[in-house]
């Protein structure tokens, strides 16, 4: 349109040209079967030509034509001004009429743009009037826009998109000390849903009204009312998002102070909510929101990306800040699983975040999410190291009574068993870190056919955890006064560790060689136990007596009595001891029984000791041995009455 | 002024000297010198922020007016510099066990607690800047409408609509900080449509809040509650830099709360718990008094926030509304000329906001991350100490 200005109507040639054009227009206008559109086009052109020549509009018929058309548009706008009903609710005819009127006025304004209004009072007056009509119409469009956005918004139920298949929740809120085996069942990793973001687009606005919104956007932006459009559009869509966030998803906002002071049980459930909300909001809601913006404002790149970022900003920042707060908090070992969950969720969504905030406007938020991922990874590593520290720091002055399985052993083994479901992520996290302190743990390079998993970073870290545990157990075992109980305790605990590893995915991380070695270890403790307990007791029954020279002189009867006493002493103590694993208990009893019963039977048989000198028959003794390691307080007399 | 300019110079020096200190067992003199230098730097940096006194007109380039966006950005730079130097003094090359000795064993956790509160304030301010950006956009509509030549009824109405929204939004925010609403729904039908759900407004304010019932004024109060100047022998030890840095943090956060809209500012304390005789604190105290005075005026008058640009929007917006009210078609040329000066000023203010607000937001994020990092560094040191003494289980 600016081109009009270059035409100087004072030049004679140009005057002629315009006159000729006028003539052609008139001729064309006389054709009968012209479509309305064409006719309007010709009329527009006619007005342009009139304005270019400047003077004609003052008195010519064109001025009247312009005024007529303005008046027509004005009337329509004013009529709607008085009408309470919404145009877009009324019908498509009314809509196109209204938009047509705006378009017409806009065309007129544009055509005036080359004319110096100061020179031409008439044009100026028309321009004022046209602008006034546009202003009223725009106000109206804004109202219509909000009305449509509010009344045609759609929500999807969160269940619509089920992410729960991704991974069953790992619950780990047990305290460090007491822990039952059953409470931590490592959940199975279900293959991650191969998510293409396109799968999750939903309608946030009724698709039927999208073309209407597009038409309003076009009209408002064409009239340079883009700021007003953005304000209304962003505001309405923000409200919709807020409603979704706070009312439908029932999410809450927390200050960092809140999060840091939260009880662990509350925090872990909030973390789960965050994981869930991140997926729904980023993968589904905001992806769909962006799509909606594109549909409505696709033609206007800058406006489009600006609108989206403004709509989504508060929500992005809210999700971000919760993550920041969690990453800032203390890193007790229990938190590791939550941190890993958050890490995996964010890692999985990062590509989507990148594409949502691709443009300059949102780039700093995008970068912050990348930073958050790094921080969560760091916190997760720290929580892992905390476990090692906690194992080393776990010291008590009292030995665990009865030599059973220490809570620490249970805790650590259940903990690392659960860790294996995060193997990929953990390997990634450990690879980033230098692994200087784990090199000593790698054993048995000589072995053939070892799975590469046995040497992955996680495997190394797991073995370093169990070796820290072993060290801690050895320290704890020193608290026992009896050597025998010390061996029972170590046997029990190492056996437990081995069983846990053999019976789970941990097996491949530790490797067969490690397992063999540790089976050897607890068997060694079983042997040591037998030596420590029974060597002295059985010495009474030995013929050659190289255990003790003094017993040689005593009579067989006396030796038998002394053996009985010694056995009773052992019995009283060791029935209180505990071997929880039935198989292990059975094995130890059998081998003990073999040794003791064999020696006793031989002794009695060879020395022909009469029954009245014998307190226990061989059968009695065999039965009594069955009471061992039951962890009971039964007295000997009771047991005899059975 | 980028924060790194400062760091290169003194951090290097301090760390080099620190290493020397460590090699020479217990060089107390060196430490005293570092502390003195720190105090001097603090005093100098804040002195630069003070508005030039009218008695001695400076012939340099005019400085940024106090409480303007550019000034706040300088303030944040100063904070970042002081924080870097503070950490250099307290952590770098130092035996961690010194930090766990009294009185630091108490002062540092208190400081870390203040840090957390400051983080939430940073977030509240980030949200508040969004409100300010909204005001800026409304003002821009008015500017672009009135800048059209010739302007007639249409433009005037458009401008007035935007300006009225602007003034209402600012007044609304001011009256009810927790509930600042973005008045995006112009017109009766739109408002009716948007307002049909009563909770919409609540949700809107919630989305820009830190959390429900969070109050900036209370956080500031909590930050200053246990801030006590070290006395006696402590006054020359490591308790002093902790106190200085905490004071700076408090001042910076308080200033931002007073300046930029944020959640629940009513009852914001104007008392600054710093003894007047402290040399390093002179400039801070001076600035504080000045800002507190403005704040009191604002509370009394019920005007818009203290941010210089917002005050401009308020003043110019009001005057332009007056103009649009009395506007008669056709416009008298004189009247139009009279307005154009105000319009130019409003346009200039919008331009400065456009240039400054987003970078300010990014800078606040930088401050946020710096505080997070500093806090983590101190926690690491405390952790190292804790391991040897306390057993977690």
Determine, yes or no, domain membership for B389: no
- State the pLDDT at residue A345: 96
Determine, yes or no, domain membership for A475: yes
Residue B142 burial (CB count, 10 A):
30
Report the residue from A239, A255, A260 with minimal CB separation from B210.
A255
Report which of residues B281 and A186 the model is more confident about. B281
* Domain, as residue range, for B107: 66-86+103-379
Segment A434-459 shows an average pLDDT of: 60
Write the DSSP assignment of A281-315 as a string of letters: IIIIIIHHHHHHHHHHHTT-HHHHHHHHHHHHHHH
Report the residue from A117, A145, A253 with minimal CB separation from B209.
A253
Report which of residues A620 and B356 the model is more confident about. B356
Q: Residue A111 — pLDDT band, cuts 50, 70, 90?
A: confident
Nearest CA in chain A to B210: A255
* Lowest mean pLDDT segment, chosen from A163-177, B272-286, B350-364: A163-177
Report which of residues B175 and A260 the model is more confident about. A260
- State the pLDDT at residue A127: 84
Determine, yes or no, domain membership for B132: yes
Determine, yes or no, domain membership for B256: yes
Q: Is it the case that residue A124 has pLDDT exceeding 70? A: yes
Q: Are B89 and B34 in contact (CB under 8 A)?
A: yes
Q: Is it the case that residue B186 has pLDDT exceeding 50? A: no
CA distances from A111 to A2, A60, A102, A120 (A): 9, 17, 14, 14
- State the pLDDT at residue A544: 55
Segment B100-111 shows an average pLDDT of: 90
- State the pLDDT at residue B177: 45
- State the pLDDT at residue B213: 87
Determine, yes or no, domain membership for B384: no
Q: Does B212 touch chain A (CB under 8 A)?
A: yes
Domain tally, chain B: 1
Determine, yes or no, domain membership for A190: no
Contacts of A254 in chain B (CB under 8 A): 211
Q: Is it the case that residue A90 has pLDDT exceeding 80? A: yes
Q: Is it the case that residue B100 has pLDDT exceeding 50? A: yes
Say if residue A599 is in the same domain as residue A511. yes
Q: Is it the case that residue B60 has pLDDT exceeding 60? A: no
Residues in chain A: 642
Instruction: Report A:353-412 residues touching B (Cβ under 8 A).
Output: 364, 368, 371, 389-390, 393-396
Three-state DSSP state, B279? coil
Q: Residue B4 — pLDDT band, cuts 50, 70, 90?
A: very low
Report which of residues B47 and A537 the model is more confident about. B47
Contacts of A234 in chain B (CB under 8 A): 184
- Between CA A417 and CA A421, with CA A420 as vertex, the angle to 5 degrees is 115
- What is the Rg, in whole angstroms, of the alpha carbon atoms belonging to chain B? 24
* Domain, as residue range, for A83: 66-112+123-164+199-223
Residues near A393 by Cβ (< 8 Å), separated by ≥ 6?
Answer: B387, B391, B392, B393
What does the alpha-carbon distance between residue B64 and residue B356 come to, in Å, rounded to a whole number? Answer: 12
Which residues pair with residue A313 across a beta bridge? none
Report which of residues A583 and B19 the model is more confident about. A583
The top-scoring range by mean pLDDT among A37-41, A84-88, A267-271, B25-29 is A267-271
Q: Residue A642 — pLDDT band, cuts 50, 70, 90?
A: very low
Three-state DSSP state, A205? strand
Write the DSSP assignment of A479-492 as a string of letters: T-SSHHHHHHHHHH
Kindly report, residue by residue over A21-47, the tens digit of the pLDDT. 777 777 777 776 777 777 777 777 776
Average confidence score pLDDT of chain A? 81
Determine, yes or no, domain membership for A371: yes
Kindly report, residue by residue over A434-443, the tens digit of the pLDDT. 544 444 444 4
Say if residue A245 is in the same domain as residue A366. yes
- State the pLDDT at residue A346: 97
> In this complex, do A132 and B157 lie within 8 Å of one another by their Cβ atoms?
yes
What does the alpha-carbon distance between residue A304 and residue A298 come to, in Å, rounded to a whole number? Answer: 7
Determine, yes or no, domain membership for B276: yes
Please count the residue pairs, one from chain A and one from chain B, whose beta carbons lie less than 8 angstroms apart. 165
- State the pLDDT at residue A622: 85
- State the pLDDT at residue A441: 45
- State the pLDDT at residue A12: 61
Kindly report, residue by residue over A218-244, the tens digit of the pLDDT. 999 999 999 999 999 999 999 999 999
Determine, yes or no, domain membership for A1: no
Q: Does B117 touch chain A (CB under 8 A)?
A: yes
Contacts of B350 in chain A (CB under 8 A): none
Segment B220-234 shows an average pLDDT of: 91
Report the residue from B138, B209, B391 with minimal CB separation from A393.
B391
- State the pLDDT at residue B313: 94
In angstroms, the separation between the Cα of residue B184 and the nearest Cα of chain A is 5
What does the alpha-carbon distance between residue B88 and residue B81 come to, in Å, rounded to a whole number? Answer: 11
Say if residue A388 is in the same domain as residue A421. no
Kindly report, residue by residue over B267-307, the tens digit of the pLDDT. 888 888 899 989 999 999 999 999 999 998 888 776 667 99
Which residues pair with residue A189 across a beta bridge? A167
What burial class does residue B216 get, using C-beta atoms within 10 Å of its C-beta: 0-12 exposed, 13-18 middle, 19+ buried? buried
Q: Are A361 and A309 in contact (CB under 8 A)?
A: yes
Instruction: Report A:138-167 residues touching B (Cβ under 8 A).
Output: 138-140, 142-147, 150-151
Report the residue from B126, B130, B194 with minimal CB separation from A150.
B194
What does the alpha-carbon distance between residue A346 and residue A339 come to, in Å, rounded to a whole number? Answer: 11
- State the pLDDT at residue B194: 46
Q: Is it the case that residue A388 has pLDDT exceeding 80? A: yes
* Lowest mean pLDDT segment, chosen from A394-403, A536-545, B369-378: A536-545
Segment B146-164 shows an average pLDDT of: 86
Say if residue A416 is in the same domain as residue A363. no
Determine, yes or no, domain membership for A531: yes
Segment B253-263 shows an average pLDDT of: 93
Residue B161 burial (CB count, 10 A):
22
Write the DSSP assignment of A32-75 as a string of letters: TT--HHHHHHHHHHHHHHHHHHSTHHHHSHHHHHHHHHHHHHHH
Classify residue A632 by its DSSP letter. Answer: -
Nearest CA in chain B to A252: B211
Q: Does B116 touch chain A (CB under 8 A)?
A: yes
Say if residue A421 is in the same domain as residue A291. no
- State the pLDDT at residue B148: 80
Instruction: Report A:103-132 residues touching B (Cβ under 8 A).
Output: 117, 124, 127-132
Q: Is it the case that residue A214 has pLDDT exceeding 90? A: yes
Say if residue A342 is in the same domain as residue A245. yes
What does the alpha-carbon distance between residue A579 and residue A562 come to, in Å, rounded to a whole number? Answer: 28
Say if residue A417 is in the same domain as residue A350. no
Which residues pair with residue A578 across a beta bridge? A630
Say if residue A508 is in the same domain as residue A580. yes
> In this complex, do A235 and B375 lie within 8 Å of one another by their Cβ atoms?
no
Say if residue A360 is in the same domain as residue A466. no
Identify which of A166, A163, A156, A159 has the alpha carbon closest to the alpha carbon of residue A288: A156
Q: Is it the case that residue A179 has pLDDT exceeding 60? A: no
Determine, yes or no, domain membership for A302: yes
The top-scoring range by mean pLDDT among A418-422, B207-211, B297-301 is A418-422
Report which of residues A605 and A199 the model is more confident about. A605
- State the pLDDT at residue A114: 66
Q: Is it the case that residue A163 has pLDDT exceeding 70? A: no
Report which of residues A237 and B178 the model is more confident about. A237
Determine, yes or no, domain membership for B56: no
Three-state DSSP state, B262? coil
Average confidence score pLDDT of chain B? 82
Kindly report, residue by residue over A338-376, the tens digit of the pLDDT. 999 999 999 999 999 999 998 888 898 999 999 999 999
Segment A299-320 shows an average pLDDT of: 94
Q: Does B359 touch chain A (CB under 8 A)?
A: no
Q: Does A242 touch chain B (CB under 8 A)?
A: yes
Residue B362 burial (CB count, 10 A):
13
Determine, yes or no, domain membership for A511: yes
Q: Does A8 touch chain B (CB under 8 A)?
A: no
> In this complex, do A253 and B161 lie within 8 Å of one another by their Cβ atoms?
no
- State the pLDDT at residue A52: 60
Q: Are A124 and A118 in contact (CB under 8 A)?
A: yes
Domain tally, chain A: 3
Report the residue from A133, A230, A254 with minimal CB separation from B211.
A254
- State the pLDDT at residue A138: 94
- State the pLDDT at residue B14: 52
Q: What are phi and psi of A578, to 5 degrees?
A: -135, 130
Say if residue A263 is in the same domain as residue A324. yes
What does the alpha-carbon distance between residue A292 and residue A284 come to, in Å, rounded to a whole number? Answer: 12
- State the pLDDT at residue B303: 62
What does the alpha-carbon distance between residue A112 and residue A62 come to, in Å, rounded to a whole number? Answer: 13
Q: What are phi and psi of A189, to 5 degrees?
A: -80, 120
Q: Residue A497 — pLDDT band, cuts 50, 70, 90?
A: very high
Report which of residues A345 and A15 the model is more confident about. A345
> In this complex, do B126 and A317 lie within 8 Å of one another by their Cβ atoms?
yes
Residues near A261 by Cβ (< 8 Å), separated by ≥ 6?
Answer: none
In angstroms, the separation between the Cα of residue A349 and the nearest Cα of chain B is 22
- State the pLDDT at residue A371: 95
> In this complex, do A133 and B154 lie within 8 Å of one another by their Cβ atoms?
yes
Q: Are A423 and A479 in contact (CB under 8 A)?
A: no
What's A599's domain CATH number? Answer: 1.20.1280.170
Say if residue A215 is in the same domain as residue A229. no
Say if residue A315 is in the same domain as residue A327. yes
Q: Are A239 and B200 in contact (CB under 8 A)?
A: yes
Residue A508 burial (CB count, 10 A):
18
Determine, yes or no, domain membership for A38: no
| B173 token code pair | 């925010």
Determine, yes or no, domain membership for B356: yes
Determine, yes or no, domain membership for B202: yes
């Amino acid at each position: 349109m600016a081109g009009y200005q270059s035409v100087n109507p004072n030049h004679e040639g140009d005057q002629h040209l315009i006159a000729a054009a006028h003539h052609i227009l008139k001729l064309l206008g006389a054709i009968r079967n012209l479509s309305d559109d064409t006719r309007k086009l010709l009329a527009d052109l006619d007005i342009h030509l009139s304005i270019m020549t400047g003077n004609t509009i003052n008195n010519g018929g064109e001025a009247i034509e312009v005024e007529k058309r303005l008046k027509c548009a004005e009337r329509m706008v004013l009529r709607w001004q008085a009408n309470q009903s919404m145009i877009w609710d009324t019908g498509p005819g009314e809509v196109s009429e209204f938009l047509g009127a705006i378009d017409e006025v806009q065309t007129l304004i544009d055509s005036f743009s080359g004319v110096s209004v100061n020179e031409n009072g008439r044009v100026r007056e028309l321009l004022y009037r046209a602008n006034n009509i546009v202003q009223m119409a725009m106000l109206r469009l804004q109202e219509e826009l909000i009305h449509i956005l509010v009344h045609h918004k759609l929500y999807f139920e969160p269940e619509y998109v089920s992410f729960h298949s991704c991974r069953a929740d790992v619950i780990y809120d047990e305290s460090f000390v007491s822990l039952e085996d059953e409470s931590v069942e490592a959940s199975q990793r279900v293959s991650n849903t191969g998510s293409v973001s396109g799968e999750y687009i939903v309608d946030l606005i009724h698709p039927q009204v999208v073309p209407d919104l597009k038409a309003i956007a076009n009209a408002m932006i064409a009239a340079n009312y883009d700021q007003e459009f953005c304000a209304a559009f962003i505001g309405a869509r923000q409200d919709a998002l807020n409603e979704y966030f706070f009312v439908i998803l029932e999410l809450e906002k927390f200050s960092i102070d809140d999060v840091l002071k939260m009880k662990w049980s509350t925090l872990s459930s909030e973390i789960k909510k965050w994981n869930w909300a991140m997926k729904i909001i980023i993968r589904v809601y905001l992806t769909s929101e962006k799509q909606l913006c594109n549909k409505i404002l696709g033609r206007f790149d800058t406006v489009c990306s600006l609108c989206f970022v403004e709509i989504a900003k508060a929500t992005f920042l809210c999700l971000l800040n919760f993550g920041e707060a969690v990453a800032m908090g203390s890193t007790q070992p229990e938190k590791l699983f939550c941190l890993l969950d958050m890490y995996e969720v964010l890692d999985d969504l990062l590509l989507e975040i990148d594409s949502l905030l691709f443009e300059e406007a949102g780039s700093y938020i995008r970068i912050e999410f990348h930073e958050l991922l790094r921080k969560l990874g760091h916190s997760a590593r720290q929580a892992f190291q905390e476990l090692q520290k906690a194992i080393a720091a776990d010291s008590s002055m009292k030995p665990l009574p009865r030599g059973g399985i220490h809570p620490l052993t249970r805790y650590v083994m259940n903990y690392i068993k659960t860790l294996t479901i995060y193997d990929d992520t953990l390997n990634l996290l450990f690879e980033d870190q230098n692994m200087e302190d784990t090199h000593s743990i790698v054993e048995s390079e000589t072995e053939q056919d070892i799975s590469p998993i046995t040497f992955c970073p996680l495997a190394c870290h797991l073995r370093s955890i169990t070796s820290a545990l072993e060290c801690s157990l050895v320290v704890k075992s020193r608290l026992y006064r009896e050597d025998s109980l010390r061996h029972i305790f170590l046997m029990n605990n190492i056996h437990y560790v081995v069983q846990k590893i053999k019976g789970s995915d941990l097996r491949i991380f530790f490797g067969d060689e490690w397992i063999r070695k540790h089976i050897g270890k607890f068997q060694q403790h079983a042997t040591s136990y037998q030596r420590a307990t029974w060597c002295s007791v059985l010495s009474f029954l030995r013929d050659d007596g190289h255990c003790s020279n003094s017993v040689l002189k005593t009579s067989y009867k006396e030796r038998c009595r002394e053996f009985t006493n010694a056995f009773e002493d052992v019995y009283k103590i060791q029935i209180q001891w505990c071997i929880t694993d039935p198989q292990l208990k059975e094995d130890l009893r059998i081998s003990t029984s073999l040794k003791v019963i064999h020696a006793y039977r031989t002794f009695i048989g060879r020395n022909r000791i009469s029954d009245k000198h014998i307190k226990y028959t061989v059968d009695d003794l065999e039965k009594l041995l069955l009471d061992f390691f039951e962890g009971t307080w039964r007295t000997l007399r009771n047991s005899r009455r059975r | 002024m980028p924060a790194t300019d400062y760091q290169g110079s003194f951090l290097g020096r301090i760390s080099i000297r620190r290493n020397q200190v460590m090699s020479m067992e217990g060089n107390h003199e060196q430490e005293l010198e570092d502390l003195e230098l720190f105090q001097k730097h603090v005093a100098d940096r804040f002195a630069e922020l003070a508005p030039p006194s009218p008695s001695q007109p400076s012939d340099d380039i005019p400085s940024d007016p106090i409480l303007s966006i550019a000034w706040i950005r300088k303030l944040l730079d100063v904070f970042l510099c002081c924080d870097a130097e503070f950490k250099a003094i307290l952590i770098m090359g130092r035996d961690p066990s010194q930090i766990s000795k009294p009185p630091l064993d108490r002062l540092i956790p208190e400081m870390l607690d203040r840090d957390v509160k400051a983080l939430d304030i940073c977030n509240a301010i980030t949200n508040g800047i969004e409100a300010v950006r909204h005001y800026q956009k409304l003002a821009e509509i008015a500017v672009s409408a009135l800048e059209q030549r010739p302007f007639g009824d249409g433009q005037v109405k458009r401008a007035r609509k935007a300006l009225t929204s602007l003034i209402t939004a600012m007044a609304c925010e001011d009256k009810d900080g927790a509930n600042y609403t973005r008045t995006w729904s112009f017109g009766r039908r739109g408002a009716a449509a948007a307002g049909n759900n009563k909770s919409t407004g609540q949700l809107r304010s919630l989305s820009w809040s830190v959390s429900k019932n969070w109050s900036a004024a209370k956080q500031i109060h909590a930050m200053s509650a246990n801030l006590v100047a070290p006395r006696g022998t402590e006054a020359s030890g490591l308790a002093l830099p902790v106190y200085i840095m905490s004071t700076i943090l408090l001042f910076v956060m308080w200033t931002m709360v007073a300046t930029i809209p944020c959640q629940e500012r009513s009852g914001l304390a104007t008392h600054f718990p710093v003894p007047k005789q402290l040399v390093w604190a002179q400039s801070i105290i001076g600035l504080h008094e000045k800002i507190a005075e403005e704040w009191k005026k604002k509370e009394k008058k019920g005007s818009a926030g203290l941010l210089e640009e917002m005050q401009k929007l308020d003043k110019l917006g009001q005057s332009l509304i007056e103009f649009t009210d009395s506007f008669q078609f056709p416009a008298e040329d004189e009247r139009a000329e009279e307005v154009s000066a105000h319009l130019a000023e409003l346009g200039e203010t919008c331009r400065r906001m456009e240039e400054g607000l987003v970078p300010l937001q990014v800078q606040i994020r930088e401050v946020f991350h710096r505080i997070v990092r500093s806090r983590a560094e101190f926690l690491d040191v405390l952790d190292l100490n804790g391991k040897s003494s306390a057993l977690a289980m």
